[in-house]
Amino acid sequence: MKIEELVMLEKEHNYPAPWQLTGNGVVLVMKLSKSWKARYGFSDYKGIIASLCLVNYQTSPVGSYYEILFIPGTLKNPKGKHLSISHIFVDSENSMQAGQKNWGIPKKMAQFDWQDDGKTIQVAIKHEGHSCFTFKAKRLGPSIPIIEAMLPITLYQKWNNHHLWTKPKAKGQAKFATIINLSGCDNEDGQGFPDLSNQTILAASIIDGFSMLFPKAIQEE
């Protein structure tokens, strides 16, 4: 095999940034109690506003996959304070490995049962064979366009003693949502997914037909 072919094969296997993705998902903005944050070891995350996202990626460089992620607030870092993902599960090993390597995102594997009939989205997630999260939400009202300028987000992650900053961009059509069910396992050892069932939901939306760009991260030691 030629050197050029080996380089191309390695590049394809590593799935480097940038990534273009499409799909739909649910975004919850939540208020966390200080006692809850302390209980789960989130005291280093500033603020009491958090985000929970469940995503059905229909296209990506590694194919389709499901994802759930939790952002408990901002973390202080060498460039200031930025949102940081504490927990994230996917059902694609290639997504897990590439997410860790490209952006320092601490992805772990899980099993997803995702049902969407156009009106409601229902999700059940298992991690290491144990149920860790169930969720059901219903779409409400007309769609509202979401443009990239409305999402000026910088994500910060620390991975293998490296600092990484990423500025994803996304756009799509959002509808308000009502949450019918949200429950999780009460796992405080850091291996499962935090139980958010007793925290306050401030806003919920379902975003359909979104497109997202995850660029190459800025990286420093």
pLDDT digits (tens, 9 = 90+) for 18-29: 999 999 999 999
Q: 1 pLDDT exceeds 60?
A: no
Confirm whether 1 is domain-assigned. Answer: no
Torsion of CA 9, 14, 19, 22, to 10 degrees: 90
At 186 the pLDDT is 62
Rounded CA-CA distance 191/141 in Å is 37
Q: Tell me, what CATH number does 79's domain have? A: 2.40.400.10
Calculate the alpha carbon distances from 221 to 7, 94, 202 in Å.
26, 25, 36
Rounded CA-CA distance 51/28 in Å is 6
pLDDT band at 36 (very low <50, low <70, confident <90, very high): very high
pLDDT band at 38 (very low <50, low <70, confident <90, very high): very high
63-94: pLDDT as tens digits: 999 999 999 999 999 999 999 999 999 999 99
Rounded CA-CA distance 180/173 in Å is 21
Calculate the alpha carbon distances from 105 to 33, 44, 73, 85, 132 in Å.
25, 17, 15, 7, 20
Confirm whether 7 is domain-assigned. Answer: no
Q: Both tokens of residue 63?
A: 């194919």
User: What pTM was estimated for this model as a whole?
Assistant: 0.91
Confirm whether 12 is domain-assigned. Answer: no
Confirm whether 4 is domain-assigned. Answer: no
Q: Domain range holding 215?
A: 20-220
Number of domains in the chain: 1
pLDDT band at 7 (very low <50, low <70, confident <90, very high): very low
43-66: pLDDT as tens digits: 999 999 999 999 999 999 999 999
Confirm whether 80 is domain-assigned. Answer: yes
Confirm whether 3 is domain-assigned. Answer: no
Confirm whether 203 is domain-assigned. Answer: yes
At 185 the pLDDT is 76
Residues 6+ apart with CB under 8 A from 46: 73, 74, 75, 76, 81
Confirm whether 93 is domain-assigned. Answer: yes
74-77 and 218-220 beta bridge pairing: unpaired
